[in-house]
Amino acid sequence: MTANLRIARPLMAAKPSPSIAAKARVDALRAEGREIVDFTVGEPDFQTPAHIVEAGKRALDEGQTKYTSSLGTPALRKAVAAKLLRENGLSYDVQDVIVGVGAKNLIFNALAATLEAGDEVIVPAPCWVSYPDMVTLNGGTPVIVDCPESQGFKLAPEALEQAITANTRWLVLNTPGNPTGAVYTAGELEALARVLDAHPQVWVLTDEIYEHFVYDEGRHRSILTVAPGLKARTLLINGVSKAYAMTGWRIGYAAGPRELMKVLALLATQTMTCASAMSQAAAVAALDGDQACVRSAAALFQSRRDLMIRRLQATDGIACQSPAGAFYVFANVQGLLGKRRPDTGAVLQSDVDVSAYLLDRASVATIDGQSYGMSPYLRLSFATSTEQIERGCQALRAAVSELQ
């Protein structure tokens, strides 16, 4: 043990990322020789499109191996601004755009730059596992607002109004959402914006990383497209990780008021310095290039979603809505609680127990809903092959049928 090591209180209060922990568990089991069907993955299972990879290689050949501006390269910031105008109808000057080492980095830095002790951040739940802990790590207080399945897992304006206090600094809005795939309609966003109009101290952090994965007749909308008056207090977060299968390239971007951009740039100079020059060049190719790869990915995920939903809905004790976006199913496992495991005789008392049972008995890895702020649910990712979905759902159904 290191003598006299004192850990900061906010860090002591934070929990390890459940999704990262689940991946580590799967990796460890596979190293032991177990064949695991992994439904925990939050990344596309296919490779980065070739034209993007080639752009990265070309950047290396051209000597783009040095530091860049902490704001990001001019080329990438220009590409981001062009993308936001072209695809979202949002006009941003290049000076209002910053690049980070993934979207998570930018969310963390935005909270670090703006929160003080006593500040509150409203987080609708179910929510991505990192939002509450990032608030805590930066000295703020996460205010978790339940958004039940009966509401489509979406924040109601009445619940938002009730959660706002004089100490509220941010509302975190994630659409399409992780872990539920919930997509807000224009009318739902307008209703939330009307509440926010009465509370000018509340800023909006809108995380739109899954925007390209919206299914059926749905459409992604940013809150700024329906409420442009919020632009002066909104930070838009996005990145290339999900849409272009570039999770390992670590490029996210944000757009917002210039005063906040300057503060984020200052923080970047003292933390990450800058994102990888080579990765930024590849991201330019992604945003400026042919978008057929994104449309193909969306169509593929929709077909996988439909398959997983059919298989899960045919399993006794599991109920699930068909997600409107992202690449996750948030399945209700209330019908499995109280049942007894055939191997140990233990009674399943929570979604954590259900997830553990499926891993032990079916070699299927899932993440419990408790980690996302709502039980009893499981998050299952369909960002994996049709073969894995078929195999995993078959094993899962067999294991469920053995419960007593």
Find all residues with CB under 8 Å of 250, minimum gap 6, and list them: 101, 102, 105, 241, 275, 276, 279
Side-chain half-sphere CA neighbours of 153 within 13 A:
30
d(CA 364, CA 156): 34
Pair 376, 337: CB distance under 8 Å: yes
Under a CB-based contact definition with an 8 Å cutoff, are residues 106 and 237 in contact?
Answer: yes
What single-letter amino acid sits at 67? Answer: Y
The burial class, CB within 10 Å (0-12 / 13-18 / 19+), for 308 is: buried
Which portions of the chain are predicted below pLDDT 70?
1-3
Q: What distances in angstroms separate CA 27 from CA 18, 30, 40, 135, one per listed residue?
A: 14, 5, 12, 29
Rounded-to-integer distance, Cα 55 and Cα 288, Å = 11
Q: Are 115 and 88 in contact (CB under 8 A)?
A: no
Nearest CA to 302 out of 188, 396, 181, 209 is that of 181
Instruction: Report which secondary-structure segment, H or E, holds 170.
Output: strand 168-174
Cα 158 from Cα 164, distance rounded (Å)? 10
Tokens of residue 248, six digits: 């390992």
Name the residue among 37, 28, 108, 7 with its Cα closest to residue 359: 37
Q: What is the structure's pLDDT at 26?
A: 86
9-38+293-401 belongs to CATH 3.90.1150.10: yes
Type of residue at 168: T
Cis, bond preceding 10 (omega within 30 deg of 0): no
- One of 3.40.50.970, 3.40.640.10, 3.90.180.10, 3.30.360.10 is the CATH number of 50-290, namely 3.40.640.10
What are phi and psi for residue 93, nearest 5 degrees? -70, 150
How far, in Å, CA of 307 to CA of 240, rounded?
26
Contact (Cβ atoms closer than 8 angstroms) between residue 220 and residue 183: yes
| 227 vs 191: CA distance, rounded Å | 10
| 76, 98 contact by CB (below 8 A) | no
Which among 35, 103, 110, 401 has a CA at the least distance from the CA of 275? 103
Angle at 12 between CA 6 and CA 15, to 5 degrees: 150
- Distance CA(250)–CA(255), nearest Å, equals 17
Q: Would you list the domain boundaries of the chain?
A: 9-38+293-401, 50-290
Taking the CB of residue 176, how many other CB atoms lie within 10 A of it? 27
Whether the ω angle into residue 18 lies within 30 degrees of 0, i.e. cis, is: no
Contact 379, 367 (CB under 8 A): yes
Distance CA 112, CA 182 (A): 27
Rg of the chain, C-alpha, whole Å = 21
Please tell me the pTM assigned to this model.
0.95
Q: What is the pLDDT of residues 31-79, one digit of tens each?
A: 999 999 999 989 999 999 999 999 999 999 999 999 999 999 999 999 9
pLDDT at position 2: 60
- Distance between CA atoms of residues 71 and 73, nearest Å: 7
Give the per-residue pLDDT at 21.
81
pLDDT tens per residue, range 6-27: 888 888 877 777 777 888 888 8
Residue 392 pLDDT: 98
The three-class DSSP label of residue 325 is strand
